[in-house]
């Protein structure tokens, strides 16, 4: 599936990624053949319900999946044309923080509660640069200023910061070595609306300043509209719809994507009730043979449960994995 809309070579390319977890003797199929690519300076949003596999995709790129119980069972992940799944752990440690970095979902658990925030940022800088402790700490203070925190707070501990300020510290830490790829795992989920807007504006500004490629993992379609260039809708460990943010928002094709938008309130429409997606995601230990959304789909037919449905381009750069759009074409 070709998803590159320019002549640039993609900085990140994920091909047929498969991730499985083992729990109590059962195999959990978390990621099932995910493919996408991303260029520098662009943002791809991964959208879907909890348990869809979004964070497993990001952790696979960082190679920080818990092993056991998780295993990457197949696929390739090219970072600047180098397959990170084939390099040693020592080589991967050099890439983390410098070439690829991650903003974790909960800033409190991402920060060490007994270390000053300035020292934690400086530790990242010293890991990847041949600088003295003093030089690293000065650089850490500069990063705090970059994210809107006074440098005189570098000697304070995480508990002395509000939730929004802690998230800013985590962002400063992630950007300390100017990574070329930033993985943001729901960075605004725990923040109130006002602080969320400030953090999103800051992420957009810093992304433009450093020409950083970014993957934004979120449940919030408002966040997607704010920061993303492309959107990949994830369901049961698969990309079921992919396209430019304008295409996905204006012309959602897959019934699941339509359900996501239908469950949101629209101030321009007078309706008595929203349109929820009924049912629950499938059991990842026993996925349906055909379309994984078939048990919940209002348009499902017997053909939907025969074989896996393949992605098809329904308009330029816009792909959907649905029999309804594929004229019942399966693979």
How remote is the C-alpha of 103 from its chain's centroid? 10
What are the tens digits of pLDDT across the range 243-299?
999 999 999 999 999 999 887 777 777 777 777 788 889 999 999 888 999 999 988
Compute how many other C-beta atoms are within 10 angstroms of the C-beta atom of residue 24.
7
Element (H, E) at 20: strand 12-23
pLDDT of residue 77: 97
**Cis omega (within 30 of 0) for bond into 188:** no
How remote is the C-alpha of 72 from its chain's centroid? 17
Collapsing DSSP states into helix, strand and coil, what is residue 60?
A: helix
| pLDDT tier, 133 (very low <50, low <70, confident <90, very high otherwise) | very high
| pLDDT tier, 1 (very low <50, low <70, confident <90, very high otherwise) | low
CA distance 147 to 93: 25
CA distance 222 to 310: 28
CA distance 65 to 72: 9
Q: For the chain, first and last CA: distance in Å?
A: 14
Q: Where are the domains of the chain?
A: 12-99+179-326, 108-178
Element (H, E) at 249: helix 245-250
Report, as an integer, the average pLDDT of 172-196: 83
**Cis omega (within 30 of 0) for bond into 69:** yes
How remote is the C-alpha of 25 from its chain's centroid? 29
| pLDDT tier, 190 (very low <50, low <70, confident <90, very high otherwise) | low
Exposed e or buried b for every residue in 204-224, given b needs 16+ CB within 10 A?
eebbeeeebbbbbbbebbebb
What are the tens digits of pLDDT across the range 17-26?
999 999 888 9
Give the strands of the sheet with 26-38, arranged side by side.
Answer: 26-38, 12-23, 70-79, 82-83
Pair of tokens at residue 7: 């002549």
Query: pTM, whole model, 2 decimals?
Result: 0.87
CATH topology of domain 12-99+179-326: Rossmann fold (3.40.50)
In the DSSP assignment, the letter for residue 153 is G
């Amino acid at each position: 599936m070709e998803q590159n809309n320019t002549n640039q070579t993609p900085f990140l390319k994920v091909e047929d990624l498969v991730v499985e977890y083992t729990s109590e003797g059962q195999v959990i199929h978390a990621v099932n053949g995910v493919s996408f690519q991303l260029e520098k300076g662009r943002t791809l949003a991964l959208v879907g319900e909890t348990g869809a596999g979004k964070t497993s995709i990001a952790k696979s790129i960082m190679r920080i999946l818990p092993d056991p119980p998780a295993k990457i069972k197949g696929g390739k992940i090219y970072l600047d044309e180098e397959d990170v799944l084939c390099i040693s752990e020592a080589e991967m440690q050099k890439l983390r923080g410098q070439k690829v970095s991650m903003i974790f979902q909960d800033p409190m658990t991402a920060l060490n509660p007994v270390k000053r925030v300035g020292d934690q940022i400086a530790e990242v800088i010293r890991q990847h640069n041949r600088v003295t402790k003093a030089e690293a700490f000065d650089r850490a203070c500069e990063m705090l200023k970059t994210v809107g925190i006074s440098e005189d707070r570098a000697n304070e501990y995480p508990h002395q910061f509000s939730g929004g300020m802690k998230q800013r510290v985590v962002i400063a830490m992630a950007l300390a070595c100017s990574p070329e790829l930033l993985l943001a795992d729901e960075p605004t989920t725990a923040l109130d609306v006002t602080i969320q807007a400030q953090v999103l504006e800051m992420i957009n500004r810093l992304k433009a300043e450093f020409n950083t490629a970014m993957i934004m993992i979120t449940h919030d379609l408002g966040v997607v509209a704010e920061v993303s260039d492309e959107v990949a809708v994830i369901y049961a460990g698969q990309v079921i719809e992919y396209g430019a943010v304008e295409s996905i928002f204006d012309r959602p094709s897959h019934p699941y994507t339509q359900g996501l938008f239908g469950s949101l309130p629209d101030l321009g429409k007078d309706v008595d009730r929203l349109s929820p997606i009924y049912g629950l995601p499938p059991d990842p230990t026993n996925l349906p043979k055909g379309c994984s959304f078939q048990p919940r789909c209002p348009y499902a037919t017997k053909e939907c449960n025969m074989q896996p449905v393949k992605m098809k381009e329904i308009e330029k750069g816009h792909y959907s994995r649905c029999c309804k759009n594929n004229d019942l074409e399966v693979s």
